[in-house]
Amino acid sequence: MKILVGVKRVVDYAVKVRVAQGTVELANVKQSMNPFCEIAVEEAVRLKESKIAKEVVALSIGPKQCTETLRTALAMGCDRGIHIQTDLRTDYMELQPLAIAKMFQQIIEQKENPDLILLGKQGIDSDCGQVGPMLAGLLQCPQVTFAAKVESHDSGFLVERETDAGTESIHIQTLPAVITCDLRLNEPRYATLPNIMKAKKKPVETILAETMGIDLTPRNQVLQVIEPPPRKDGIKVADVDALIEKLKNEAKVLA
Amino acid sequence: MASIFFSSSRRKILSCSRSPPFIFTLRRLHQPYNSLTESDIQVFSEILGHNPSLLLPASDPIVTAASTDWTGHYGPAPARLLLRPQTTAQVSALLRYCHERRLPIVPQGGKTGLVGGSVPTRAHQEIILQLQQMNQITALDPLMGIVTCQAGVVLQNLQDYCADQGWLVPLDLGAKGTCQIGGNLSTNAGGPYFRKYGSLAGNVLGLEVVLADGRILDYNYRQRNNLKDNTGYKWHQLFLGSEGTLGIITGVTLACAPLPRSKQAAFVACASYNQVLLVLQKARQYLGEILAAMESMDAAIWTLVEASGRHKMPLSAETLRSDSAVLEGGPFFLLIDTHGSNADHDQEKWQTFLEAVQNDILNGVLAQDMKQYQSFWQIRESANPTVAQLGYTYKYDVSLPIAQFQDWIQEMRLERLGPLGRTESSLVNANWGHILDGNLHFNVTTIGEREVQKDLVNALEPYVFHSILKRGGSISAEHGLGQAKNHLLPSVHNEITLDWMRSMKALLDPKMILNPGKFLPVSS
């Protein structure tokens, strides 16, 4: 079985995002692999380690620094990397989910033909969560989003999926299929130094986005990017009576 | 407490400073502190604007909590009162009054010190003067990176504030979420970035100190915040590391470093201490100017942190120990941290370094994002809290030539701990430190036992200190003296030096009201 994993390069999870010149500031900002993509890579590598999959290919779209993101994926255990190079912003400002899904589709249908596509459930920059479902629609294949558990079952997979009310189990009967990964699925491994060294020798292929013949123009126009208003300072009250009065009349959370 | 009144003739003798040792001995025999009276409390209340949250009586549980130090080794010693001034003027008025009335004071910041320096002593039941209300950051020059703030600012708040504007406070410690900059200054706190960013004292550009008699000394604090200034004695440096015995620091002007845009960290495991030294040398050579910190953790502490279950460990001591190359005391873990201005450049340096050390290490893990970077540091910073939770910990913070760390540890284990015949599950020696700074934290913990054991103390002390001094090391690298190590000063310094220190104390605090029983030896 071959698995294709999507890995996105985003502003580092621990970094405070700022707005500059009307958009999210990316210059000199630390960027790393999207945490949900890390979980997807981890799951793919585990499937390979349990001999369910034979090959894991990582795919990333973005500027030349995406090769670093791919190297992390390779250090975690992926076999090969594909880098679709573009200088368009991938945080929704320029490249948007439909274009991304179409690029994935082309690689899948015309190049790799994987049995399983693992993606993070959403990018922590755009928070869209759309590439997975859109890709499955384009491929006309089964999709399970927000996977908390993935088990090989018959010739497909049994997936536990997160919902607001709890989890539901879905049996994917035919492949290929798209699974997007959620937080509880696994805890991604660290990249050990020997594996980082090995990863340097694994092949990474670069494809220029503009040579793919896909219309990459954004479908939605970003009108405004602003920081959330600063949190108001809290106040100290003198006693319980004052607290109740404020909860009643100011915060209006008491009847 | 009985008050002893001097005759006016004796007072005259005491005010003459011609022969310090004589006066010092005399003063020690008569060490009068007055009892706290209702009218004293009235005066304090008035100074603090009659605000009830700024003056707490001894009976308040907050005061009891403030009277016990972080390690639990000291206290609760009954404090007479707790005061929380909000301005330098209030600190000045309080001290002026206490000086007149001869009431002893212990200044207190975050109370995270490890030598009992910021809590009252049983002997004197000092008034606790907390700086926590003075928590304003008053200015940050965005071009120069010069920050001015009050002493009660929590270190992490100061770090976050400066980082927001692209500046790095040149001090970091595990206690950053609780400790206050005033306390850091009065203890000359060290931390892991000492080698790269220099000592805290070196970065102090200005200081505001209130003396024992209430006078406010200002050295380039309220104005003239410059990086370079040579217009007077650098007297302000005397207060840094004086642990509240010469004056109370109320404000500081600090020089910050440019905030590194690129931070990288790796944990590596070495089979032997010799390999640790090789890795250290190569790190200096290949990482060069971006090397910010190198922290060591031995197999014992790594195993304890692992067992606490609070962290996802990047490496396992258990797995590594089975490697045949692992020698006595190993494996050894190193946290290597770099700060730079350009991630691409830094990563190139890291590649060269990792290639150079690949045969010197058993294994290693490189952080792939800032979350992993932070969790590596959390693992390192959990060393102290982990042993503190397991039982009473005998802590020895020493400086040693780096090459001798493991040799000294082995000596202590063999000659002092071994003969006690305790099992591994009841007594453990765990070691970690700022290896780049030559600073080792040697810890002995009695698992499950929270009371101090005399036979263990006697097995360790004074041998630990004597053996360190014999090797030319320091018996207190960064933790300071407090009431834990002040008695050792005569074995460290000669009489001329000690006498000089006592003279400074006598000059600045003639009535000995500031933090008595700390820093300088109590018995003459």
Q: How confident is the model at residue B327 (pLDDT cuts 50, 70, 90)?
A: confident
Chain B hits for A191, Cβ within 8 Å: 365-366, 368
Q: pLDDT at residue B523 above 80?
A: no
| CA–CA distance, B524 with B521 (Å, rounded to integer) | 7
Question: What tokens were used for B54?
Answer: 């700024």
DSSP readout, B335-396? EEEEEES-HHHHHHHHHHHHHHHTTT-SEEEE--SHHHHHHHHHHHHTHHHHHHHHEEEEEE
Parallel, antiparallel, or unpaired: how do β-strands B332-340 and B291-297 relate?
Answer: antiparallel
Please tell me the predicted confidence (pLDDT) of residue A23. Answer: 94
DSSP, residue by residue, B124-180:
T-PEEEE-TT---EEEEETTTTEEEEETT-BHHHHHHHHHHTTEE-S---TTTTT-B
pTM: 0.88
Separation of alpha carbons B294 and B280, rounded Å = 8
Which chain A residues are closer than 8 Å to B363 by Cβ?
192-194
Query: What's the complex ipTM?
Result: 0.88
Over residues A165-183, the pLDDT tens digits come to 999 999 999 999 999 999 9
Say what the pLDDT of residue B31 is.
58
User: Which residue in B343, B365, B373 is closest to A192 by CB distance?
Assistant: B365
Q: What architecture (CATH level 2) is domain B137-258?
A: 2-Layer Sandwich (3.30)
Same fold, B20-133+504-508 and B384-470: no
Chain-chain contact of A191 with B365 (C-beta, under 8 angstroms): yes
Which of B261, B354, B368 lies closest to A72 in CB terms? B368
The helix/strand/coil state of B274 is: helix
Q: What is the mean pLDDT of residues A8-33?
A: 92
pLDDT tens digits, one per residue of B447-458: 999 999 999 999
Identify the CA nearest to B71 among candidates B486, B425, B383, B391.
B391
Give the best residue of B162, B353, B369 to mutate against chain A (max A CB count within 10 A).
B369
Residue from B368, B372, B374, B375 to probe the interface with A (highest A Cβ count within 10 Å)? B368
Contact (CB<8Å) A14/B314? no
What's the average model confidence in pLDDT over B428-440? 95
pLDDT 10s digits, B346-403: 999 999 999 999 999 999 999 999 999 999 999 999 999 999 999 999 999 999 999 9
The amino acid at residue B114 is L
pLDDT band at residue B30 under the 50/70/90 scheme:
low
* Residue bearing the bigger pLDDT, B309 or B22: B309
User: Cis peptide before A176, with omega less than 30 degrees from 0?
Assistant: yes
Please report the domains of chain A, with CATH numbers, ordered by start residue.
2-250 (3.40.50.620)
pLDDT tens-digit series, residues A88-138 = 999 999 999 999 999 999 999 999 999 999 999 999 999 999 999 999 999
- Given CB atoms, is A230 within the 8 Å cutoff of chain B? no
Would you call B372 and A68 a contact, using CB atoms and an 8 Å cutoff? no
In the prediction, which pLDDT does B75 show?
80
B364 touches chain A (CB under 8 A): yes
Report CA-CA distances (Å) from A215 to A219, B196, B273.
10, 50, 59
For residue A100, the one-letter residue type is I
Across the interface, whether the CB atoms of B347 and A191 are under 8 A apart is answered: no
pLDDT tens column, A192-237: 999 999 999 999 999 999 999 999 999 999 999 999 888 888 888 8
Which CATH number applies to B384-470: 3.60.15.10, 3.30.70.2740, 3.10.129.10, 3.30.1370.160? Answer: 3.30.70.2740
| Minimal CA separation from A90 to chain B, in Å | 19
* Cα(B99)–Cα(B105) distance, integer angstroms: 10
Nearest to A32 among B262, B266, B370 (CB): B370
- CB-CB: which of A30, A72, A192 is closest to B363? A192
Q: Which of A193, A196, A201, A233 to mutate to test the interface with B (most CBs of B within 10 A)?
A: A193
If pLDDT is split at 50, 70 and 90, which confidence band does B14 have?
A: very low
Reported as a single tens digit per residue, the pLDDT across B469-508 is 999 999 999 999 999 999 999 999 999 999 999 999 999 9
Mean pLDDT of the B42-62 span: 95
pLDDT in tens, B264-289: 999 999 999 999 999 999 999 999 99
Q: How many CB atoms lie within 10 A of CB A227?
A: 10
Q: Give the CATH number of domain B262-381.
A: 3.30.70.2190
User: To the nearest whole number, what is the mean pLDDT of chain B?
Assistant: 91
Domains of chain B, by residue range, sit at 20-133+504-508, 137-258, 262-381, 384-470
Quote the CA–CA distance of B332 and B321 in Å, as a whole number.
Answer: 10
Residue of B nearest to A33 (CA): B369
Pick the CATH number of B20-133+504-508 from 3.30.43.10, 1.10.287.3510, 3.40.190.170, 3.40.50.720: 3.30.43.10
Q: Is A13 on the interface with B (CB under 8 A)?
A: yes
